[in-house]
Amino acid sequence: MNINRIRATLLQEYYMVQRSLETIVDVFVYPIMNIIVFGFISKFLLGSTDRSVFLSLIVAMLFWQIFSTSQYTISVATLWNMWAHNLTNLFATPTTFLEYFIAHAITALIKALLVFFVGALIAYFQFGYNVVNIPFPLLLVIMINLYLSGIAIGLVLVGFIFAYGTRIQALAWGFISIIQPLASVFYPLSVLPEPFQSLARFLPLTYMFEALRQIISQTAPLPIIHTQLMIGSCITLIYLIISFIIFKYLLAYSKDSGQFAKNDL
């Protein structure tokens, strides 16, 4: 692994973001507007519910951006190279796939933290909630899990795009719309019908957002919250390992079928 090649890929990503209004809007403007709009909707609903529910909705939208931004960055960064017919040129250099994805994982982390920071300021100044109220160890665990979950999903989606081309590129920004309802981001797991609750328990996101709601509402003792975070973290780690295996298989399939080269045509 070569640091200079990782730095070169980071520089490429910087130039693409700097010159792409679409990326700036998708990664920064839409998430911030979602937090603001969702905040005002929640504030409107505050008249018919308690403050902890209102805060849970705001904070859930804020933390959701960590996952969605990470996944989007990993997936769409590769699509930009495909749209620019630059994929073959990129991997004709000594840059390895590991270096390539480490660079984009770093970019995803930077973008996610920027969006989270701006969203946290809005949550504090406009809606009166300070994320610092969440105990730092718990805050860190939740953020890391959401970030790694986004990386894992993004990696699998990139593998499928490599294997089947841009005809399935809509998955890069549409797949999380399928995950979000199952992950119980904005409501307790108990709201879902029983069959869907069983599916939701296989998602690490579910445990993160359940724990987040319980931290804000103070409806569960710390041992229960710790258990949920531990279970969710274990599932995240398993999924991250599986995502690398799936990506490796899909990459090999893409090369064997010739689709990898066709992706630049």
Domains in the chain, number: 1
Residues 37, 30 contacting (CB under 8 angstroms): no
Please give the average per-residue pLDDT across 181-193, as a whole number: 83
pLDDT-based confidence at residue 23 (cuts at 50, 70, 90):
low
User: Measured in whole angstroms, how far is the alpha carbon of residue 210 from the centre of its chain?
Assistant: 17
DSSP, collapsed to helix, strand or coil, labels residue 12 as helix
The Cα–Cα gap between 25 and 171 comes to 18
Write down the H helix ranges in the chain. Answer: 3-18, 21-24, 30-45, 51-83, 87-92, 97-125, 136-164, 171-174, 176-182, 194-200, 204-217, 222-257, 259-262
The Cα–Cα gap between 134 and 232 comes to 18
pLDDT at 110: 92
89-99 per-position pLDDT tens digit: 777 777 788 88
Residue 75's domain comprises 3-262
The Cα–Cα gap between 55 and 213 comes to 9
Residue among 260, 95, 71 at smallest CA distance from 162: 260
Please give the average per-residue pLDDT across 65-86, as a whole number: 85
Above 90 in pLDDT, residue 8? no
For residue 264, give the amino acid letter.
Answer: D
122-134 per-position pLDDT tens digit: 888 887 888 888 8
138-176 per-position pLDDT tens digit: 999 999 999 999 999 999 999 998 888 888 887 777 788
Residue 45 vs residues 50, 53, 76: alpha-carbon distances, Å: 9, 9, 35
Residue among 148, 139, 145 at smallest CA distance from 117: 139
Q: Please state, as a whole number, how many other Cβ atoms lie within 10 Å of the Cβ of residue 111.
A: 22
pLDDT-based confidence at residue 209 (cuts at 50, 70, 90):
very high
pLDDT-based confidence at residue 22 (cuts at 50, 70, 90):
low
User: What's the mean pLDDT when you consider all of the chain?
Assistant: 83
77 contacts: CB under 8 Å, gap ≥ 6 = 13, 16, 104, 107
DSSP state of 47: G
Q: Tally the residues of the chain.
A: 265
What are 182's two structure tokens?
A: 């199952």
Please give the average per-residue pLDDT across 106-111, as a whole number: 91
For residue 33, give the amino acid letter.
Answer: M
What are 166's two structure tokens?
A: 């841009």
Above 70 in pLDDT, residue 212? yes
Above 60 in pLDDT, residue 78? yes
pLDDT at 243: 95
Residue among 124, 122, 141 at smallest CA distance from 133: 124
Above 60 in pLDDT, residue 21? no
75 contacts: CB under 8 Å, gap ≥ 6 = 154, 157, 158, 161, 171, 172, 173
The Cα–Cα gap between 181 and 230 comes to 22
